[in-house]
Amino acid sequence: MATATIKQIPLNKLVNSPKNVRKTPASEADDAELYASLRYQGLKHNLLVHSVGDTFHVHAGGRRLEQLQKLAEEGHIKSDEKISCKVEPQSAAEETSVAENMIRSAMHPADEFEAFADLIEKGRSVEEVATRFGVTAGLVERRLKLAQVAPEILDDFRQGQLTLEAVMAFTLSNDHARQLEIREAISHFHPTGKQNAIRRMLTERTCSGSTRLARYVGVDKYEKAGGNVIRDLFSDDDNVHITDIDLLEKLAIEKLERAAKKHGKGWKWSVAVLDFNYNDGLKYGRVYPEPQDLDPEIASERETLQKRLDEIETLDDEDWTDEIADEADGAGERIGEIDALEEKSAVFSDEQRAIAGCIVSLDYAGKLEVNAGLVRPEDVPVSEPEATDAESDGASTNEDADGESKAEPAIRVTPPRSETTYKAPVDPVTAARKEQGVSQALGDELRATRHQIVQAHLSADFGVAFDAMLYSMCRQTFRNGYEVTPLDISLKPAMVMASRDVLKETIAATVLEEVRGSLSLDWLQKELPEDFEALCALSSEEKQALFAWCAAYALTQQLSTDKSVNPIFEQIGQRMDVDVAKFWRPTVETYWGRVKKDHSLDVARELIGDEWVNDRSHYKKALLAKSMEAYFGDDAGKKVDLGADVAAKTSTWLPDGMGFAVEGTGTAAESGATDTDPEAPGSEEAKEEADTLPAFLSEAAE
């Protein structure tokens, strides 16, 4: 290695060397960052120079030299500021320049994100950090946003399992649990498609700031009312997502009601609605504005022009000239102008306004739309039978179905018409849940709870898991269409984000944790293809355990009373004799406190009796819920006022759709699920395999 010495050389003695191999200039943004770093942090590395006469040529560090010279020109440092330089022989200049520009590793973006976040945490403002590093405040904010994603996601980014675009997509939510749930759900996606899936999943319960409601209300007004938004700092289009749709609709209705009050002046009634379509309008009769009498001079002008047009139309072809053609065109245009003027002058009369109203709504673009002159069916005037010809005094008449003469009403009203849209029949399951007070959120939690319990059984039952997985694989392999996926069957976990709190610390969660802890997973840490070889070397029992876990991982979820029930799911639960009641009991938090009081009383009356219900029918809902929890819990048999038979029923009762039909009977206490065909090939053998669960699974359920 060539010998080198460190010297402090005045800045005005340094010049850029032609031996510097970097010829392509850096971007303005990169130079700005370097300038800010040198100004606020100082020079951290020596310039590499060689002597040429009285000066020193910089062959490594030319960009730093240029920014130092700029600092001197602006007066931030002296022109003869001493600069730390490493002086090398001229013969080593080119080789050293190549080495410094090529043999280096840039900081990983994830490390940069966290470094910026650390500076902010230590008290630096966004503007200060931006100034010190020569970047914009927006860039600092974006890097801080990236630093706030879950650490596991940043680790995936460092290891190359996620792209920068995918990490950007995760910034739409600050909820690390939700981020990690989606991270798991998209683990099998192709890397280039993950960012779109992440954005879709994180915004599925929001609406864009460009929707008609958001445009009408205004995102700023929504935020002032306390609404939260998600801002995508890395997207130019639709970068605002509104999270509280109920609040947005409330604000829109309030604004529309103010508009209805304004436009409804003089009308019998006015209403504000978000949507008003063609079929909505068919429910109402209509009155139309009546044209006003034209100015006599204008009316006379139209009459004269029309007479002249009639005369021109009678001319023979040989009498037709260009002058007459121009005259006809001019007369036609003027008559059109007068007709438009007459139509524009049309107004609703006081008599019309006395029976009609207006509906204020939004059109497809989010603009105010006023439908005036609507007459409710009960306000449509009814014609009265004429008494005598003398009384009619020449008024226009018509006859009804019986031939009775009736006088036309003073106000002409177009009558209402029937709707033309098809009305779907009411779904009995939806109606029953509504009657019981089972909300959408509670239904989702019951479905997720049932799913977790079946997962816990399936993860420890190779026989059922194998049949279920083989069935799914064959469906995708042998059926025509998009289901054909020869190698990848796309295992996807069910999305349970909204219900994850109720799934913590449950019996089923404990079972799943135990099963996963017993799996042989060390082979996953090996490199390709050693990992496959290690998997092949596992015992049959270890492979079966892994297979069952993967099948349980991909299990879908449903209640047996859902609108579109997959009977295969029900048969899976039946084959394993899944007893949901052993794993879950309705409590105040999970059921009784969230359904209607009448539903609770109906259940108690059916299972316990009228006397018990009559004694508690006056309870407030909260107190009744606590009583229901006590009498429908595991220890219901300890209640002295319950007989053994009744306690056996209440301690195993389940809401509609939660349980499974009993094998061999095809019936369940609350479910209409069908039974497994007892004649199906291999069903008895598979049942024998599923009869015995691991000890910890049986113990956890007891």
Q: Is residue 158 part of a domain?
A: no
Q: What letter does residue 290 receive in the DSSP assignment? A: B
User: Cβ distance 265 to 352 under 8 Å?
Assistant: no
Does residue 550 fall inside a structural domain?
yes
Q: What is the 3-state secondary structure (H, E, C) of 488-537?
A: CCCCCCCCCHHHHHHHCCCHHHHHHHHHHHCCCCHHHHCCCCHHHHHHHC
Quick one: pLDDT at residue 392? 44
Is 607 a domain residue?
A: no
> Would 361 be classed as within a structural domain?
yes
**Rounded Cα gap, residues 180 and 173, in angstroms:** 11
DSSP state for residue 107 in the 8-state scheme: P
Share of the chain above pLDDT 70, in %: 78
Candidate from 140-149, 530-539, 689-698 with smallest mean pLDDT: 689-698
Residue 543 and residue 435 in one domain = yes
User: Residue 64: which CATH number?
Assistant: 3.90.1530.30
Shared domain check, 482 and 451: yes
DSSP string, 670-690: S--PPPP-TTSTTHHHHHHHH
Q: What is the mean pLDDT of residues 322-339?
A: 85
Same domain, 259 and 269: no
Could you tell me if residue 242 is inside a domain? Answer: yes
Could you tell me if 340 and 353 lie in one domain?
no
Range of the domain at 370: 265-290+347-383+409-423
Alpha-carbon span 576 to 564, nearest angstrom: 22
Do 463 and 533 sit in the same domain of this protein?
yes
* pLDDT-based confidence at residue 298 (cuts at 50, 70, 90): confident
Query: What are the residues facing 370 on neighbouring strands?
Result: 360
Residues 417 and 555 in one domain: no
In a domain? residue 169: no
Final residue belonging to a domain, choices 397, 423, 449: 423
- Residue 463: closest CA among 624, 664, 682, 656: 682
0.75 surpassed by pTM = no
Cβ proximity of 465 and 527 under 8 Å: no
Strands 55-60 and 14-16: parallel
Q: Tell whether 275 and 330 lie within a shared domain.
A: no
Predicted confidence band of residue 600 (pLDDT cuts 50, 70, 90) = very high
Q: Domain tally for the chain?
A: 5
The DSSP H or E segment spanning 32 is helix 28-41
Same domain (yes/no): 271, 244: no
Joined together, the tokens standing for residue 603 give: 């259940």
Torsion of the alpha carbons at 694, 695, 697 and 701, rounded to the nearest 10: 150
Q: Same domain, yes or no, for 510 and 659?
A: yes
Q: What is the pLDDT of residue 56?
A: 93
Is residue 403 situated within a structural domain?
A: no
Q: How far apart are CA 447 and CA 424, in angstroms?
A: 25
The residue ranking higher by pLDDT, 666 or 462, is: 462
Q: Is residue 280 part of a domain?
A: yes
Alpha carbon 447 to its chain centroid, in Å, reads 20
Residues 471, 507: one domain? yes
Residues 573 and 681 in one domain: yes
Full 3-state SS string of 179-219: HHHHHHHCCCCCHHHHHHHHHHHHCCCCEECCCHHHHHHCH
The band of 234, judged by pLDDT with boundaries at 50, 70 and 90, is: low
How many of the other CB atoms lie within 10 Å of CB of 448?
20
Omega within 30 of 0 (cis) for the link into 409? no
Q: What angle do CA 607, 610, 616 make, to 5 degrees?
A: 100
Instruction: Tell me which of 601 and 198 has the higher pLDDT.
Output: 601
Domain boundary (77, 102, 127) is at 102
The reply to whether 540 and 552 lie within a common domain is: yes
